[in-house]
């Protein structure tokens, strides 16, 4: 019963708050006669969102796909590199400055360079930007995970004369999976943000980023906000799925 009570509180309370905020927002926009270019009301945005649902959906699919490709490529590269760095620590030491540099520079700053490299008509540049943004947290968290293997587990596999592959499959990977998935969860939001922001710097039209800018430049502010709403939803979907995966792989681990 208590579980029901708390989950009801966890769902109902934010929902009520959200509705209250939306109502106040709408009230403020109407009562204070706020101009749409300053802030359109939620009703207007919802109107545009559902009125242009096909366009929002197509744009979301374009940006979402770029983010997904980036997420998958970046994650594979991140786990792969972390594996190599765990096997040869020298690699970790050598690459540490590059990783640190990549972690602090805003990756989207590379967008103009990549557009000239891969041509402004292709989505490649955006996918690469998402992949680089994803690589960093996945790499760092995976490497940390690989180092979390408890000595007693490693010794156990030694005692059983287990092969390298058996050790990796039965001990190293399960120990580090929660860490890898924490990295993926952080990376999933970054992938969407990077893919979207990269659109502001050029490339083909059709994605959420381009749609926001073009709606805004034609003074259709409510439509621009409808695309923003679409971006929020895409980000939420990415985040929820990776959060769910993280929870799933961590289910039998006491939270550290």
Partner 1 sequence: MTRKDSLPVTDAHAVKVTGVSRIFSIKKKPPVTALESVDLTVAPGEFVSLIGPSGCGKSTLLRLIADLDQPTAGTIEVFGKTARKARIDQDYGIAFQQAGLLPWRTVRANIELPLELHKVGTAERRSRSTELLELVGLGDFGDSYPDQLSGGMQQRVAIARALAESPNLLLMDEPFGALDEMTRERMQNELIRICAETRAAVVFVTHSIPEAVFLSDRVVVMSPRPGRIRSVLPIRLGGPDDRSEHIREDAAFFDGVSAVRESLHGTPDTGNARGVDTR
Residue 173 or 216 with smaller CB distance to partner 1: 173
Q: Given the rule CB under 8 A, which of 17-25, 117-125, 170-178, 217-225 is the region that contacts partner 1?
A: 170-178
Q: How many helices (H) and strands (E) does the chain have?
A: 11, 0
CB of 246 to partner 1, least distance (A): 14
Instruction: Tell me whether residue 206 is exposed, middle or buried, using C-beta atoms within 10 angstroms of its C-beta: 0 to 12, 13 to 18, 19 or more.
Output: middle
Rounded to an integer, what distance in angstroms lies between the CA atom of residue 154 and that of residue 75? Answer: 26
2 near partner 1, rule: CB under 8 A: no
Task: Select from 171, 233, 237, 243 the one that contacts partner 1 (CB under 8 A).
Answer: 171
Rounded to an integer, what distance in angstroms lies between the CA atom of residue 227 and that of residue 210? Answer: 10
Range 242-251, long-range pairs (CB < 8 A, 24+ positions): 242/181, 242/184, 242/185, 242/187, 242/188, 243/185, 245/181, 245/184, 245/185, 246/178, 246/181, 246/182, 246/184, 246/185, 249/177, 249/178, 249/181, 250/177, 250/178, 250/181
Rounded to an integer, what distance in angstroms lies between the CA atom of residue 195 and that of residue 193? Answer: 6
Task: Select from 80, 91, 99, 162 the one that contacts partner 1 (CB under 8 A).
Answer: 162
Residue 3 or 152 with smaller CB distance to partner 1: 152
Task: Select from 97, 104, 152, 256 the one that contacts partner 1 (CB under 8 A).
Answer: 152
Q: Is the dihedral of CA 47, 53, 57, 58 positive or negative?
A: negative
252 near partner 1, rule: CB under 8 A: yes
Binding mask 183-222 for partner 1 (x = CB under 8 A): ----------------------------------------
Cβ 215 vs Cβ 224: under 8 Å: yes
Task: Select from 36, 174, 204, 206 the one that contacts partner 1 (CB under 8 A).
Answer: 174
168 near partner 1, rule: CB under 8 A: no
Residue 184 or 234 with smaller CB distance to partner 1: 184
Q: Given the rule CB under 8 A, which of 50-58, 111-119, 152-160, 183-191 is the region that contacts partner 1?
A: 152-160
Give the length of the chain. 256
Task: Select from 26, 170, 213, 214 the one that contacts partner 1 (CB under 8 A).
Answer: 170
CB of 149 to partner 1, least distance (A): 11
98 near partner 1, rule: CB under 8 A: no
Instruction: Report, in angstroms and rounded to the nearest whole number, the Rg of the chain calculated over CA atoms.
Output: 22
Task: Select from 150, 236, 240, 244 the one that contacts partner 1 (CB under 8 A).
Answer: 150
CB of 144 to partner 1, least distance (A): 18
166 near partner 1, rule: CB under 8 A: yes
Cβ 100 vs Cβ 191: under 8 Å: no
Rounded to an integer, what distance in angstroms lies between the CA atom of residue 191 and that of residue 67? Answer: 5
Residues in touch with partner 1 (CB under 8 A): 150, 152-153, 155-162, 166, 170-171, 174, 252-254
């Amino acid at each position: 019963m208590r579980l029901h009570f708390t989950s009801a509180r966890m769902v109902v309370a934010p929902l009520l708050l959200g509705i209250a905020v939306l109502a106040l927002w709408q009230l403020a926009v109407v009562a204070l006669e706020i101009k749409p270019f300053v802030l359109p009301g939620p009703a207007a945005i919802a109107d545009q969102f559902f009125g242009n649902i096909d366009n929002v959906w197509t744009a979301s699919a374009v940006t979402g796909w770029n983010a997904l490709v980036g997420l998958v490529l970046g994650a594979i590269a991140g786990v792969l590199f972390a594996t190599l760095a765990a096997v040869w620590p020298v690699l970790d030491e050598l690459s540490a400055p590059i990783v640190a540099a990549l972690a602090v520079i805003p990756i989207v700053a590379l967008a103009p360079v990549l557009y000239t490299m891969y041509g402004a008509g292709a989505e490649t540049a955006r996918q690469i930007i998402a992949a680089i943004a994803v690589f960093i947290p996945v790499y760092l968290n995976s490497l940390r995970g690989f180092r979390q293997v408890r000595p007693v587990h490693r010794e156990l596999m030694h005692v059983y004369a287990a092969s390298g592959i058996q050790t990796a499959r039965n001990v190293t990977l399960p120990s580090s999976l929660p860490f890898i998935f924490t990295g993926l969860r952080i990376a999933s939001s970054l992938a969407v943000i990077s893919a979207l922001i990269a659109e502001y710097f050029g490339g083909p039209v059709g994605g959420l980023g381009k749609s926001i800018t073009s709606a805004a430049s034609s003074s259709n502010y409510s439509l621009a906000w409808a695309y923003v709403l679409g971006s929020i939803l895409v980000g939420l979907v990415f985040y929820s799925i990776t959060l769910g995966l993280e929870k799933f792989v961590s289910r039998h681990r006491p939270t550290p």
